[in-house]
Structure 1
Amino acid sequence: MFDLDLWKEILSALKQNRMRSFMTAFGVFWGIFMLIIMSGAGRALENGVMEGVKAFATNSAFFWTERTSKPYEGFQRGRRWIYNNQDIEYIRQSVKEIEYLSPRLFGWQQNGDNTIRGERTGAFNIYGDYPDYFKIDGWTPVKGRLMNEIDVLQKRKVCVIGERVEEVMFDKDEDPIGQYLKISGVYFQVVGVIHPETRINIGGGKKEETIIIPFSTMQTAYNYGDEIHFFSVTANQGTSVSSLEEKLKRILKERHKIAPDDTQAIGSFNIEAEFKKFSMLFLGIQALTWIVGIGTLLAGVIGVSNIMLVIIKERTQEIGIQRAIGATPGKIMLHIIAESVFLTVMAGYIGLSLGVALLEVLNQILLAAGDEVFFRNPEVNLTMALSALAVLVFSGAFAGFIPARRAIKIKPIDALRDES
């Protein structure tokens, strides 16, 4: 049953020394506030990174070349090498575990701007790709269409462009579809404007500043011969992309006479492994957040317990009088524990509320920033909030229990004699 007199006594006791009550409660407030903020920030980073990773096919792997690190079959260490069309064709024919395979060429930016349209110029990321690349690295057409197989087979001079390219090279009310861009000296017709499903760009740079042309067109138009700078694959259903990654490395090392134990010559990563790494990383961040938050909260609770001990000392005579007029040890104990719980829960609730409010403000800022940041939806789930409140109630009871035990051990006659 709700005891109004009890709560009046608790509020009266706290008001008698407001500064001490405030300083005592601040430790608990700060602990729960930091727990909420760190947890929300950690979740925002996790949401942003995972959203970017998930936009790629989860069974995909990416490959590029590096200098060799070991001598092998007459070749010195530090040798530069590169993929070629024959590598891709051999893999396509002999490795049946592959679902999609897409080689890529990078159009390196040299001497600033590489794209011209009338009086407008711009420096953009130029890539030569196969249509399968859009199934590996997610892109959505917002105008026109994506590149297709016919574009590659016929070596068409067409391109799809990112939204930033459209902003720079065309007027706001102008339709870019069917218009031409002069890219590194060659004219290409725009057939689509595309939007990336993730800001992570394998080739570097901002994705919205990307121009993609058919792979075959890029090889012939810019005299790349049979060079390939990079390629990506996805594994068939039921095939581990990690095992496929290792198999492709073995094949490429054999074809290019690279030492089997040279771990540097082929750069690669797969989304499956990266996803697992990120999952473990963010699990560790969440655990660390709880450790730091609970540690800070515990320090505040210890402060509450110490202050309650001081309060018991100051109220020795008052407790003696209560005992003398018939107050039971249980009632005295309940009063002290209730006061401790009230102080702890109120401070924690304010910290929880302010923490959630600050995360909501941060979320609105992030929404306004759009895709410019990797943070997404800084949130604290209901389970965590309820857990935090449960910890507060338990902590408050624990902080008041030891002082309460001490209080009920005070003998009425000794308490009445106490003059402190």
Structure 2
Amino acid sequence: MFDIDKWQEILATIKKNKMRTFLTGFSVAWGIFMLMILLGSGNGLSNGVANNFMGDAVNAMWIWSGETTVPYQGLKSGRPIQFHNEDYDVLKSLPGVESVSGRYYMGNTRYSYGSESGEYTTVTCHPELNDVDQNVMLEGRYINKVDINEKRKVVVLGKDIRDALFKDKPALGEYVKVNNVPFKVVGVCVEPESTRNRNAFMPVSTAQMVFNGSNRLHNFAITINGKDLEESKAIEEQIRNTFARKLRFDKTDESAMGVYNKLENYIQTMRIFQAIKIFIWIIGIGTLIAGIVGVSNIMLIVVKERTKEIGIRKAIGASPSSVIGLILLESILITTIAGYIGLVLGTGLMELINYLMMQSAGGGPQQGETLFLNPTVDFGVAVAATLLLVVAGTIAGYIPAKRAASIKPIVALRDE
């Protein structure tokens, strides 16, 4: 195995047959390279989509009111459905519901501070909204229960609003005017799934009081404890049935009350990507098989070309095992080096693409949505694929080498 003369002979053979060696190595390297590209791309797409879902809680659900489209219990169609504060308490009491935030819609409102002003979106909410949106606080705090109970005039600004109104000045503790009503800034946040942080958050009870909202709510953002799609759908059906009875509309009338179940969407999307991963594996295995076939064909040619050489070696006393071992060591050396090159190139290309995608996204996925993230391949899979090609090359060389080594020297010397 470590006979220096043997290795010198192998290297001399490789140097003498450059094209044959290149073709053998290329078959191996290309198979590993393409497998790394395919698996890395599949993982990158899957991770990117999963990361975009993580901007909000995966178990989030949004509920909004609409207008009936079918008559119900003597009531005509076209009747608007409205949520109120008591419906917030109803939702909180339902089993399977974890966090609930009611929202009163204000739309675009004018914010001003000193000589600076602009129109931004105001989100009125309960503290639990952050369980759904999972905003990241840069300064200060989020809305809390005391703000709700005491109807405090406080506001949490999105980073872009803070930058536009305050420039380089500190914002915490200052007062901004919201439609000419002063509100104290208690926090600054960013939304992980957004590149534009132009939303401001204020207590829903304060908004109802100050901006004539009475006890009206337009929608709810909630989280549920459904562990799978079946549990999630059961909780959704329970919510729909409860409100259908309370607000008197047909439970099958989806226009009366809309529901977006993020867990359902997340599970369905990830199932699609699992199918894509399986498809990628099929293509990758096909590429490996093509590499194995290429190596096998070249090794058959190698042994055929060296049949006369094998006869000479046997004639001067070489044992069949030494002849076979020489050919196998050459095969193992070429496939191992070529497999490593394919592995490094494939992994390096995936890391380069990931780096460029991260840079174009502003330094990281938290700055906005990305469709490609962390396209890594499991190291064990990469090594196993490389070893598979090495073993395949070894077997491909062993079978014809053994057959050639079993031929009598005189017959081998006559081979053309």
TM-score of the pair, normalised by structure 2: 0.82
Letter in 2 for 1:145: R
C-alpha RMSD over aligned residues: 3.4
> Would the aligned equivalents of 1:242 and 1:272 in 2 still touch at CA under 8 Å?
no
What's the CA shift for 1:277? 4.1
| Shift in Å, 1:51 | 4.5
Residue 323 of structure 1 is aligned with which of 314, 321, 335? 314
SS at match of 1:369: coil
Kept after mapping to 2: 8 A contact 1:344/1:395: no
Query: How far is the alpha carbon of 1:220 from its aligned partner?
Result: 4.2
Contact 1:30 1:351 in 2 (8 A): yes
**What's 1:19 paired with?**
19
Q: Given the alignment of the two structures, is residue 219 of structure 1 paired with residue 208 of structure 2, yes or no?
A: yes
Partners of 1:214 and 1:127 lie apart in 2 by 9
In 2, distance between residues paired with 1:117 and 1:180? Answer: 7
Letter of the structure 2 residue corresponding to residue 150 of structure 1: V
Which residue among 218, 232, 238 is the counterpart of 2:221? 232
State, as a whole percentage, how many aligned pairs show the same letter: 38
1:101 equivalent to 2:96? Answer: no
CA distance in 1 between partners of 2:114 and 2:394 (Å) = 75
Checking the alignment, whether the CA contact within 8 Å between 1:39 and 1:380 is kept in structure 2 is yes
Matched, 1:135 2:134: no
Distance 1:409 1:116, change over 3 A: farther
Q: Structure 2: state its 5+ residue gaps.
A: none
Matching of residue 176 in structure 1 with residue 171 in structure 2: yes
Q: 2:339 aligns with which of 348, 356, 361?
A: 348
Aligned to 1:312: 303
Q: C-alpha separation between the residues in 2 aligned to 1:214 and 1:135?
A: 15
Instruction: Decide whether the 8 Å contact of 2:40 with 2:377 is kept in 1.
Output: yes
Code of the aligned partner of 1:400: G
* Contact residue 110 and residue 118 of structure 2 kept, 8 A: yes
| Residue type at the aligned position of 2:132 | I
Q: How does 1:198-347 map to 2 (within 5 A)?
A: 198-199=192-193, 206=195, 208-235=197-224, 241-262=232-253, 266-270=257-261, 272-274=263-265, 276-277=267-268, 280-347=271-338
Distance 1:372 1:141 in 2: 16
Which of 375, 378, 381 aligns to 1:381? It is 378
CA–CA separation in structure 2 for the residues paired with 1:104 and 1:276: 26
- TM-score scaled to structure 1, two decimals? 0.82
Does the 8 A contact of 2:291 with 2:389 survive in 1? no
Moved more, 401-410 or 210-219: 401-410
- Aligned partner of 1:43 in structure 2 is 43
CA distance in 1, matches of 2:322, 2:159: 71
Could you tell me which runs of 5 or more consecutive residues in structure 1 were left unpaired when the two chains were aligned. Answer: 200-204
Alpha-carbon separation, structure 1, partners of 2:346 and 2:290: 19
Q: How many Å apart are 1:334 and its aligned residue?
A: 2.7
Q: Is the 8 A contact 2:81 2:257 kept in 1?
A: no
Whether the aligned pair in 1 keeps the contact of 2:300 and 2:396 (CA below 8 Å) is no
Matching residue of 2:63 = 63
Q: How many residues align?
A: 408
In the alignment, what sits opposite 1:150?
Answer: 146
Give the CA deviation at 1:170: 1.9
Partner of 1:398: 395
* TM-aligned CA deviation for residue 404 of structure 1: 2.8
Q: Which amino acid aligns with 2:206?
A: T
